[in-house]
Amino acid sequence: MLKHIFTTLVLLDQDCFHSEQGSEKLLQWIRDEAADTLRDRWSNNPDRTSMDKWEDVKAIVGSIRKDNNRQKTLINAMEDIILQYTYPRLDIEVSKRRNHLLKAPFCVHPKTGRVCVPVDPAKIDDFDPEAVPTVGQLLRELDAVGKDEESMGEHHSGASLFFMTSVASLQGIRLGEDVVKPIC
């Protein structure tokens, strides 16, 4: 599964190894004389894509005798590369500081004031982080709702806020279920 994601996302979509800097990062994982061979080949052909370069790596590994420890080492390096480029990572601040733990829906970012909202993975390309509401915007909307209710002779209570957060939470739960269903 990771090989497919690596191919489509890292090699084709992002083309991570196309640049010289990207190629060097790839070669750092290959601690073998093959790295020098690949570096020479790529410097003579600077237009090679990430997919071309990955195929070069695979060809070198495939050319080594199967019972050779060198091939096993290079195969392990390739697996490490795939894992490194596809596995989700946390930055150091998320691990160290509590106010960086913005995992749960409806938490508030301490600097921007934006509310963390659930995102439908099927619509991730349409997601605009700048369109996410801030606490200030939500409070203004609640105040406006309260004024409208008062003008109609109704009393504004916390029940409407409870209803709105419950509906929003349901959306997050449904998105979570949609992610978990295919796995189970």
The position carrying tokens 């369109």 is: 131
Q: Whole-angstrom Cα distance, residue 85 to residue 89? A: 10
Q: What pTM was estimated for this model as a whole?
A: 0.52
Q: What confidence score (pLDDT) does residue 24 get?
A: 93
CA distance 95 to 132: 24
Share of the chain above pLDDT 70, in %: 70
pLDDT at position 15 is: 93
The pLDDT of residue 37 is 92
For 69-115, the pLDDT digits (tens) are 888 889 999 999 998 888 876 666 666 666 555 566 777 887 888 88
Q: What single DSSP character describes residue 133?
A: P
